[in-house]
Amino acid sequence: MKLSEIIEPGSVSIDLKPDSSEQLLREIAALASSAEPLKSIGSEVIYNALSEREKLSSTACGHGVAIPHCRIRDMSGFVAGLVVLSNGIDFNAADNEKVDLIPFVIGPEEHPRTHLQLLSSLAQVFRNDELRNNIRNAETSEIACKILSDNASPEEDRSARSGKKLLHLFVQDESVFDELLQVFATAETTSSMIMDADESTRYLMNIPFYAGFWNTDIHHFNRIIVSVIRNELINATIRNIEFICGPLSERTDIMITVSDLQSVHGSLES
């Protein structure tokens, strides 16, 4: 499912003026309740679901952006929208910035994987400084909606032959790991797994022949993300990774390898 397919023009507003996070969630619930998949649900149910999710942890993700979301049983489909505030409000953000850009997703409880993919797509879109500024400067809700829709689901490169590849992402920089992991939640047919890893030096230092070459207290963050990805998504995946961590040619703590897969059986959808 593409994010651009579920953004409801009627669920986009630049005119709301809530004075608290609670009021913001109530106004999002009222705004979203007019969308077809939510017409039979009611704004109070939507508000309660949004509020309960927010109690788990803040959905603020930095740079003035928060992505409230919730799952509601027996919805007929997903709804996405956007609220842009002229004055930011406190949303318990980790970077302590007030929030003024609030995209949101509401979806059926029965489809958690699709929900995660849509959330991750929104998170990636709103990492873009230029897009955030363009939406903040939008003069109408219609313009804000178009900017978001146009950027929500970029066209995939269909020139590559069909099939899948195996991608390994080696990460030693803990500060960007969570963001990098989100990249792998956006591809609908991607199966991924995380592996903890030790450097070979941790073992070599215990071999008498190599004694003294390394500090015995050596300990680095080491994770490997292993993912099966469609061929046509490989280049986009690498671009998204570099968007987070910069050019890989300039990194010595992040590395990607990609190899062909001769055969794939089964999947990891859970």
Confidence class for position 157, pLDDT limits 50, 70, 90: very low
Per residue in 88-102, pLDDT tens?
A: 999 988 888 999 999
Helix (H) or strand (E) holding 24: helix 21-32
Instruction: Say which residue, 199 or 142, is predicted with more confidence.
Output: 142
pTM for the structure as a whole: 0.67
What burial class does residue 39 get, using C-beta atoms within 10 Å of its C-beta: 0-12 exposed, 13-18 middle, 19+ buried? exposed
How many domains is the chain built from?
Answer: 2
Give yes or no for a contact between 197 and 168, defined as CB atoms under 8 angstroms apart. no
Say whether pLDDT at 219 is over 90. Answer: no
Give yes or no for a contact between 169 and 256, defined as CB atoms under 8 angstroms apart. yes
Does one domain contain both 138 and 179? no
pLDDT number for residue 158: 38
| 66 found inside a domain | yes
State which of 91, 117, 152 marks the end of a domain. 152
| 217 found inside a domain | yes
Does one domain contain both 182 and 251? yes
| 178 found inside a domain | yes
Does one domain contain both 170 and 146? no
Per residue in 240-250, pLDDT tens?
A: 888 888 889 99
pLDDT number for residue 68: 95
State which of 105, 124, 152 marks the end of a domain. 152
Does one domain contain both 58 and 101? yes
Strand runs (DSSP E) across 20-155, as ranges? 60-62, 65-66, 69-72, 79-89, 99-108
Taking the CA atoms of residue 39, residue 43, residue 47 and residue 48 in that order, the dihedral angle to the nearest 10 degrees is: -90
| 268 found inside a domain | no
pLDDT number for residue 32: 93
Does one domain contain both 140 and 208? no
State which of 110, 130, 152 marks the end of a domain. 152
Does one domain contain both 34 and 144? yes
Does one domain contain both 142 and 52? yes
Residues above pLDDT 70, as percent of the chain: 84
CATH number of 59's domain? 3.40.930.10
Q: Which of 8-22, 71-85, 197-211, 234-248 has the lowest mean pLDDT?
A: 197-211
Domain that holds residue 253: 164-260
